[in-house]
Chains A and B, each alone.
Chain A
């Protein structure tokens, strides 16, 4: 269904306005807003705050691990940091930050005036915020100490009686409802509210990615919601779902958790792939290479992502035939992922690459993600995984995927869309400084961790023995982490300073391809006074060409009623 055509509008009954609510001003406006752009900015602001919190937790851990036999923090506090860092980065940063970008960008990119359910959208945000607050309140008593995977029996009340685990369960429920509601909103918006002419084959790749992200959330989240509810009743109401003494089984948790947990990885990375697929062609001055292959591979990754969960459980008591199945399904996922990487490189090839900060971050993604992808294939070979599982090799692997992939990509997205959101450009020199600090710091942090794991260092240990010979890897890693931290701070400073002093961006500072660049920066509350008719996957390129050849103003070119053929 395509909304907004003149014919369908007259056929509907008139909406009569009975009164006009005055728009509240100041902070009250932010509290009551249902505008997808304001909600998007609230999301981005909140999630970056959690990103900084999670980063500080990581730096404390790196400080502790810089040397063997360090006594900076005690084991219980360290396990708390491990848990809170992982939980924050997954549930309070990476998943919702993408909802934030999606909220801001999806209606603009598809030429809609808002999300399908604006109030539900506000609910999503507030549930997320209060989920995060509920979780961080555990700092006032005792944070959970069983890792972000919260495996029972350790997470059961017999071993962790404090309320930290319960705060975690509460947070999973609140952010889970937030994500599901948000996902349904995205699905309804993308299916129903696309601009005239925007068929599936003309939809921006970022919107494709958000659509798939939403379906994955709907498919995966109920599993973890069920699991944490069972954990809650095990802890407080005498059930024994995960307690072997009562006939339960700890393995059940692992299956339910990872049935959610692995799709979660793709939830955290696919929208960023979408961002990179938007940024690279703009700065290479070329169309995206293999649009259909990239959209199809997104769908393929999501489907296969639902079938690989037990590769997190290769060391558990599980029959070999099951292990072999999950090895093969994990292998298969490398094919569509490889297709994306090749397509991005082919997009850059024979382009005219404009070396601006968004491109630096976006082009770093394939370069770093491929390392995480390759180590992922190595880990998928289950006999090899028996050596590498739960070591720092795995820590390095998923940080290459989630930091080298997701975080680098979405920093590219921040630099790319910041001018649209604020009307001002971020500083290029600070941006490039931030990029190089982050790039060098990131690799210094996580490259040596492969070697630490291969030498026998398990993850989640507050202290390691001098005899293990991993001291040098850990020292380099800790130094790298602080360089990385400084790099992130430079971008934060850049974003704050540019708010006031950045160069004015205008509607379309990058010569973008998609509809968000058609409207003003920042866009007015209704987004578009005129919704352009979409004739290709790059509607803005069509409009620019038309303006250049006919010297008719863009607004007129875009008029859907205007009788002209492109």
Chain B
């Protein structure tokens, strides 16, 4: 037991520097993901200290006080009030510290900041909205996207004028605060792109919120994720992608996508008229 525990302890101590992902969550795509990562690391360091103390004293006691010929008699101790009070208070204090640290980071994790200067401009972005119930701290345009989980695909509805939506791949501008309003249309799904922050459940009948803001330097990157709430046979295959592009590229994509949607709608209408003309529709 000693050897295994020692190896594990060594692993815990050595690895955080060596590899980013072995012992810490994914991050790097958005400030909230980075803050969660930092908060997790602070907790992990506290945890490592507690782990080493507990395992150390346990293994040391088992080895040192094992029954040996001529060894000392077992000490008939029934308790030690100051010691017991001590470790109770110590445990409570550690938790108070963790509570304080959590609340220090909470605001930045939870509340979306304003978009950056190189983000989507309000004048350009007809679909950018500032009329949301909880505006970001310093106002400014943000991009709102409705995320709808369906067995077994994600649909994204961009807020604003002409209809703009997409499936599977979400295209977003960099340096822009993107607020997601997540729901599910059949069963519960959970939206999760690890590098862009925590997950939120899409519960039918509810709207759940999260946000991300991808830095300029990440333009051109694709962030992967998948549904994180068991939603049926296709759950493992319900993947999602977020493609970060520059605001100009985003504009171009949005125009193209809107045009395609419009063309598809017109084609559908045309088809219906033809079928009516042929007498195929009542």
Contact = CB atoms under 8 A, between A and B. Distances in A.
Interface of A: 75-76, 79, 82, 145-147, 151, 153-154, 159, 244, 249-251, 284-293, 315-317, 320, 324, 327-328, 331-332, 334-335, 338-339, 341-343, 345-346, 348-355, 363-364, 366-367, 370-371, 374-375, 377-378, 381-391, 439-440, 443, 447, 450-451, 454-456, 458, 460-465, 467, 469
Contacts of A316: 201, 203, 206, 208
A443 B59 CA distance: 16
B278 to A, nearest CB: 36
Nearest to B15: A451
B204 A390 contact: no
A469 B194 CA distance: 14
A342 B43 contact: no
A254 to B, nearest CB: 9
A469 B21 contact: yes
Q: How large is the interface on B (under 10, 10 to 19, 20 to 34, 35 or more residues)?
A: 35 or more
A354 to B, nearest CB: 5
B78 interface: yes
B114 interface: no
Contact of B105 (A244, A351, A383, A460): A383
A391 B228 contact: yes
25 contacts: A75-B233, A76-B233, A159-B232, A250-B204, A287-B77, A290-B79, A292-B79, A293-B84, A317-B201, A317-B208, A320-B110, A345-B58, A345-B61, A346-B80, A353-B67, A370-B51, A378-B47, A386-B199, A387-B36, A390-B228, A451-B23, A454-B21, A455-B26, A455-B194, A462-B236
Contacts of B33: 387
Nearest to A537: B78
Given A338-B91, A367-B1, A286 B79 contact: no
Given A147-B230, A377-B43, A391-B228, A371 B51 contact: yes
A378 B40 contact: yes
B259 interface: no
Nearest to B57: A345
B79 A291 contact: yes
B236 A464 contact: yes
Given A250-B188, A378-B44, A463-B236, A286 B227 contact: no
Contact of A249 (B92, B205, B228): B205
B65 A386 contact: no
B66 interface: yes
B164 to A, nearest CB: 25
A209 B176 CA distance: 55
Contacts of A342: 84, 87
Contacts of A79: 230, 232-233, 235
B198 A366 contact: no
A145 B233 contact: yes
Contact of A285 (B4, B74, B79, B190): B74
A289 B230 CA distance: 45
Interface string B18-59: 000111111000000101100110011001001100110111
B188 to A, nearest CB: 6
B226 interface: yes
Interface stretch (B94-102, B121-129, B245-253): B94-102
Given A151-B188, A350-B75, A334 B95 contact: yes
B79 A443 contact: no
Given A287-B77, A377-B47, A456 B88 contact: no
Interface SS majority for chain A:
helix
A386 B5 CA distance: 29
Contacts of A391: 228
B186 interface: yes
A288 B80 CA distance: 12
A327 B102 contact: yes
Nearest to A333: B95
B188 A159 contact: no
Contacts of B169: none
B203 A289 contact: no
A154 B230 contact: yes
A215 B197 CA distance: 40
Given A335-B92, A348-B62, A456 B194 contact: yes
B74 A387 contact: no
9 closest pairs, A vs B, by CB?
Answer: A386-B198, A244-B205, A461-B236, A285-B74, A350-B75, A317-B208, A456-B194, A352-B74, A317-B206
A228 B157 CA distance: 36
A286 B199 CA distance: 49
B65 A351 contact: yes
A390 B199 contact: yes
A396 B61 CA distance: 27
Nearest to A343: B84
A374 B45 CA distance: 11
B62 A363 contact: yes
Contact of A289 (B22, B78, B226): B78
B65 A154 contact: no
Contacts of B21: 451, 454-455, 469
B216 interface: no
Contacts of A286: 74-77
Contacts of A145: 232-233
Given A384-B39, A391-B228, A456-B225, 8 more contacts: A286-B77, A315-B208, A338-B87, A342-B87, A345-B61, A350-B72, A451-B23, A461-B236
B73 interface: yes
A55 B40 CA distance: 32
A384 to B, nearest CB: 5
B200 interface: yes
Given A153-B188, A251-B206, A348-B58, A381 B84 contact: no
